Chains A and B, each alone.
Chain A
Amino acid sequence: MLNAVGRDIPEEILEKVHKVPFMGNGHYDGYEYKKTGPRTRCVISNGKNKLVSSIREALELSGIKDGMRISFHHHFREGDYIVNMVMKEIHDMGIRDITLCASSLGKAHDSVYDYILDGTVTGIEASGVRGKIGEAISKGYLKNIAILRSHGGRVRAIESGESKIDIAFIGAPTSDDYGNLSGMGGKNECGVLSYSSVDAEFADKVIAITDTLVPFPNYPCQISMTKVDYVVKVDEIGDASKIATGAAKPTTDMKKLMLARYCTDFVTKTPYYRNGFSYQTGVGGASIASTLYLADRMRGDGVKMAFGLGGLTKPMCDLLDEGLCGALFDTQDFDTFAIQNMHHPRHYMITAGEYASPFNKGAFVNKLDFVILAALEVDTDFNCNVVVGSDGMLMGAQGGHPDTAEGAKCSIVLVPLVQGRMPTIRDRVTTVTTPGESVDVVITEYGIAINPRRQDLIDAVRDSGLPLTTIEEMKEKAYSITGEPKDIEFEDRVVAVIEARDGTIMDVVRQIKE
């Protein structure tokens, strides 16, 4: 069945995952539904201790069984130890058929590959599956179809009851003996625990894992004790050097600097660039360089940002410190400066739901003016692929891409025209993760292409002297350099679905042909 972005979603897959095809952005705007809550075990007695001696004990007390769905956050990024520690115990206990529902999975979790092979893990739900987990899914080793969701989509799926979490694991840099959790303090600070909020709200059992116990009460807390069943202390929750990394050095790559320059020039020519605008950007070299150029322009023009949003790095925090930005709303900290900047009175943690869920009463992304995004591939309909590599292998993450692209008034995708011998701009993306109607502008070093749906933006920058072009011309230029790539062949078997923010199916991912 063809969906709204022209992708064929097989009927039997729709049945298997109990879903419908994507019908376009905003299809569910105004939709009403009833949320269901978790099973909750009361703690009335004042003599009970939530501290347990080990992860295994916590698992036993939580009633871990075959077939359960367990969840994790990815605030520790490449330095995470939690997933591996928990999975090892589960595996050693002989538990099987587990569905991993993580906000994202990456190279730090490569050991899960073995658990997929031996059937301990038979289901994966995540925004991204970098590393060997992605490889395992692409090669067809995962028993059930994997589900790839955006950050907002994950919150929707959990709150609506679609993705029922039996046990949530929350790695917490600090905790007290009663389960007040924080991302600040301790040996391995990560800044925020945004992704875990919905897990704590809706999971039947919540297990906190910390390496730094602090005296009660651990306030201000980011996850309340009223939602936590058990607290386990371990030696290390992660590798600090990979959680709190140093700030990325500003790029010297001329191509990235060109992209950054075009991006900032474009942003400042739109009507959204005025006092009190809001902005979100990524962590790539071009994105960071563009933030630095933007800061220069803002100083010169006397324009201030009302707020910055999303995953944060030093350049955005510098804007707050300098007074060029009024506030930061944080869902993830990418370097040690961003973590420390949490101490600034106008640097706030927000939950993933507050950030991007499409199924609550209105999230931050709806108030965003600009978002600067990357992509693996973009096609001439402005559809983006951020999850499947050009070789057909699952290797990226949706993150907040579809959420911010839809929400922001001006979504800009910043990509090199060509990467190696692969054209980034093409006739058709390998897999659609963000629909073209959400993407307003594509910027490559060859020029700037505005989505024809945005006549208002086209009119606004018409006489600006910017290198405007069309997405077709970009594609022609890319192909003239690399030649036209042959489509990759896949097996028929669907190994993963790309779920849109609203729970419909945007596209499917098939098994790699080897």
Chain B
Amino acid sequence: MKLLKPAAAGTLESSDCFVSIEPSENGIEIDLKSDVIRQFGDRIREVIGETLDTLGIESCSISVTDKGALDCTIRARVESAAFRSAEIKEEIPWEKL
């Protein structure tokens, strides 16, 4: 998937995370802030990485501010920001996600 512009998804409410993504040339750069970074920082990065990989994104600058979101929410917000960045609104390939 080709990212076209900066985009964001999610909120800073409890159990949510705020994700902002933009295209870049230098591979995947993740900036993660989280209250549980010691216990789940590695896992969250893993989830972000897997999601970007599934979407076929090899290069981007992504920043995630986590407020105790579960894996499924992190995935959802990363997907949402990515599709917004790629300006794809319908015919989402659900079965691939």
Assess whether B39 is in contact with A485, with CB atoms less than 8 Å apart. yes
Chain A, interface SS category: loop
Assess whether B40 is in contact with A486, with CB atoms less than 8 Å apart. yes
In the assembled complex, the Cα of A486 lies from the Cα of B43 at a distance in Å of 9
Say yes or no for A390: interface residue by CB 8 A criterion: yes
Residue of A nearest to B43 (CB): A483
Hey, which chain B residues are within 8 Å of A488, CB to CB? 38-39
Interface stretch, picked from B24-32, B55-63, B64-72, is B64-72
Say yes or no for A420: interface residue by CB 8 A criterion: yes
Say yes or no for A19: interface residue by CB 8 A criterion: no
By size class, the interface of chain B is 10 to 19
List CB contacts (< 8 Å) of A336-380 with chain B.
none
Say yes or no for B53: interface residue by CB 8 A criterion: no
Say yes or no for A493: interface residue by CB 8 A criterion: no
Contacts known (A481-B70, A482-B70, A483-B71); A420 close to B15, Cβ less than 8 A: yes
Q: How far is the CB of A513 from chain B (nearest CB, A)?
A: 9
In the assembled complex, the Cα of A421 lies from the Cα of B15 at a distance in Å of 8
User: Chain A, 486-514, contact with B by CB distance < 8 Å: what is the 0/1 string?
Assistant: 11110000000000000000000000000
Hey, which chain B residues are within 8 Å of A486, CB to CB? 38-43
List CB contacts (< 8 Å) of B9-53 with chain A.
14-15, 35-36, 38-43
Q: How far is the CB of B16 from chain A (nearest CB, A)?
A: 11
Hey, which chain B residues are within 8 Å of A140, CB to CB? none
In the assembled complex, the Cα of A293 lies from the Cα of B29 at a distance in Å of 53
Residue of A nearest to B69 (CB): A421
Say yes or no for A392: interface residue by CB 8 A criterion: yes
Assess whether A392 is in contact with B38, with CB atoms less than 8 Å apart. yes
User: Chain A, 418-440, contact with B by CB distance < 8 Å: what is the 0/1 string?
Assistant: 00111000000000000000000
Contacts known (A481-B70, A482-B70, A483-B71); A420 close to B35, Cβ less than 8 A: yes
Residue of B nearest to A421 (CB): B68
Assess whether B15 is in contact with A422, with CB atoms less than 8 Å apart. no
Hey, which chain A residues are within 8 Å of B71, CB to CB? 483
In the assembled complex, the Cα of A390 lies from the Cα of B39 at a distance in Å of 8
Q: How far is the CB of B40 from chain A (nearest CB, A)?
A: 6
Contacts known (A481-B70, A483-B71); A421 close to B36, Cβ less than 8 A: yes
Task: Out of A392, A421, A481, A489, name the residue touching B40 (CB < 8 Å).
Answer: A421
Assess whether B38 is in contact with A420, with CB atoms less than 8 Å apart. no
In the assembled complex, the Cα of A371 lies from the Cα of B41 at a distance in Å of 37
Q: How far is the CB of A447 from chain B (nearest CB, A)?
A: 20
Task: Out of A420, A481, A489, name the residue touching B36 (CB < 8 Å).
Answer: A420
Say yes or no for A11: interface residue by CB 8 A criterion: no
Hey, which chain A residues are within 8 Å of B15, CB to CB? 420-421
In the assembled complex, the Cα of A482 lies from the Cα of B69 at a distance in Å of 9
Assess whether A420 is in contact with B40, with CB atoms less than 8 Å apart. no
In the assembled complex, the Cα of A194 lies from the Cα of B14 at a distance in Å of 39
In the assembled complex, the Cα of A488 lies from the Cα of B36 at a distance in Å of 10
Hey, which chain B residues are within 8 Å of A485, CB to CB? 36, 39-40
In the assembled complex, the Cα of A392 lies from the Cα of B39 at a distance in Å of 10
User: Chain A, 369-401, contact with B by CB distance < 8 Å: what is the 0/1 string?
Assistant: 000000000000000000000111000000000
Hey, which chain A residues are within 8 Å of B14, CB to CB? 420
Hey, which chain B residues are within 8 Å of A392, CB to CB? 38
In the assembled complex, the Cα of A274 lies from the Cα of B92 at a distance in Å of 62
Hey, which chain B residues are within 8 Å of A420, CB to CB? 14-15, 35-36, 68
In the assembled complex, the Cα of A481 lies from the Cα of B72 at a distance in Å of 10
Hey, which chain A residues are within 8 Å of B70, CB to CB? 421, 481-483
In the assembled complex, the Cα of A390 lies from the Cα of B70 at a distance in Å of 17
Residue of B nearest to A420 (CB): B68
Q: How far is the CB of A510 from chain B (nearest CB, A)?
A: 14
Q: How far is the CB of A434 from chain B (nearest CB, A)?
A: 22
Hey, which chain B residues are within 8 Å of A482, CB to CB? 40, 70
In the assembled complex, the Cα of A332 lies from the Cα of B75 at a distance in Å of 47
Residue of A nearest to B68 (CB): A420
In the assembled complex, the Cα of A489 lies from the Cα of B37 at a distance in Å of 12
In the assembled complex, the Cα of A482 lies from the Cα of B15 at a distance in Å of 11
Assess whether A483 is in contact with B40, with CB atoms less than 8 Å apart. yes
Q: How far is the CB of A253 from chain B (nearest CB, A)?
A: 13
Hey, which chain A residues are within 8 Å of B39, CB to CB? 390-391, 421-422, 485-488
In the assembled complex, the Cα of A272 lies from the Cα of B4 at a distance in Å of 68
User: Chain B, 58-95, contact with A by CB distance < 8 Å: what is the 0/1 string?
Assistant: 00000000001111000000000000000000000000
In the assembled complex, the Cα of A422 lies from the Cα of B41 at a distance in Å of 12
In the assembled complex, the Cα of A481 lies from the Cα of B40 at a distance in Å of 13
Hey, which chain A residues are within 8 Å of B36, CB to CB? 390-391, 420-422, 485
Residue of A nearest to B47 (CB): A483
In the assembled complex, the Cα of A483 lies from the Cα of B72 at a distance in Å of 11
User: Chain A, 75-99, contact with B by CB distance < 8 Å: what is the 0/1 string?
Assistant: 0000000000000000000000000
In the assembled complex, the Cα of A420 lies from the Cα of B69 at a distance in Å of 8
Residue of B nearest to A488 (CB): B38
Q: How far is the CB of A476 from chain B (nearest CB, A)?
A: 16
In the assembled complex, the Cα of A483 lies from the Cα of B70 at a distance in Å of 8
Write the residues of chain B forming the contact surface with A, with a CB cutoff of 8 angstroms: 14-15, 35-36, 38-43, 68-71
Q: Can you pick out 9 interface pairs between chain A and chain B where the beta carbons lie within 8 Å of each other?
A: A390-B36, A391-B38, A392-B38, A420-B35, A420-B68, A482-B40, A483-B71, A485-B36, A486-B41
